[in-house]
Amino acid sequence: MGSLWNNVVLHPLRPHSHTSFTSPMKQQKLLRSSRNSSKVIAYYGLKTPPYSLDALEPFMSRRTLEVHWGRHHRAYVEGLNKQLEKNDILYGCTMDELVKFTYNNGNPLPEFNNAAQVWNHDFFWESMQPGGGDMPKLGLLQQIDKDFGSFTNFREKFTEAALSLFGSGWVWLVLKRKEKCLAVVKTSNAVTPLVWDDIPILSLDMWEHAYYLDYQNDKAKYVNAFMDNLVWWDAATIRMVRAEAFVNLGEPNIPVA
């Protein structure tokens, strides 16, 4: 997930020109107007995937990344920033806070869709890597065995959820805080398990824009390609280790002084 504050870019309300020549007189004027406008607004930047756009080929093409990340993800970021210009109450939130706050207990504010889609896509890009696939490791594998019976069972459940999702949405492996177990969940449109306070471990984008260019409507082929060649289990394993800091999955182990 990374620090989402890395994702925030601060701009003065009155933009400076960094790219074109500005005369000394104009610079003085800009400086004066900059001093007069002390208000600063937080904008969110478009994070780049942790690999080049052609790195996931042939399982996810450069063209898909150009359209999916370069157009759709970018549009969510730009749409969110435009909305935030008009809403002082949302100033200064981390992206996690923004998603939870704008979900507004099930009555989403207008900013929710863009905020959640920015969060979801950042998380999705970081759920894949070139040469992915294979198996989860360490504690994550043990917990999958415990909660699903086996990795094969988990994979079947994840695939079934992806293929039975109606319309656009996401499939997730989450750690449920209250139940203290892993679960597969699916969400519609922009909804993310963050809003129910569950901890996402892995996600798969099941919007048509994620697979149509490479797989047309063969969703099963897309899900299998993700599982066999793209999923980055190391990232999921690290997320699980972090999640365990907040959810006690065993007997308390209190150190004795």
Q: Which residues bind Fe ion (CB under 5 A)?
A: 205, 207, 210
Question: By the 8 A CB rule, do 101 and 90 touch?
Answer: yes
Burial 178-213 (b: 16+ CB within 10 A, else e): eeeebbbbbbeebbbbbbbebbbbbbbbbbeebbbb
Question: By the 8 A CB rule, do 127 and 202 touch?
Answer: yes
- How far is residue 238's CA from residue 232's CA, in Å, rounded to a whole number? 10
Q: Is 72 annotated as a binding residue?
A: no
CB of 129 to Fe ion, least distance (A): 18
CB of 246 to Fe ion, least distance (A): 27
Nearer to Fe ion, 158 or 207 (CB): 207
CB of 95 to Fe ion, least distance (A): 16
| Cα distances (Å, whole numbers) of residue 23 to 28, 36, 78, 149 | 9, 20, 30, 70
| Cα distances (Å, whole numbers) of residue 53 to 50, 125, 193 | 9, 11, 27
For 59, the token pair is 């399982």
Q: Which residue is nearest to Fe ion (CB)?
A: 205
Nearer to Fe ion, 144 or 231 (CB): 231
Nearer to Fe ion, 182 or 231 (CB): 231
CB of 126 to Fe ion, least distance (A): 14
Q: Is 209 annotated as a binding residue?
A: yes
Nearer to Fe ion, 67 or 183 (CB): 67
Q: Is 68 annotated as a binding residue?
A: yes
| Feature table: binding site for Mn(2+) | 68, 121, 205, 209
| Feature table: binding site | 68, 121, 205, 209
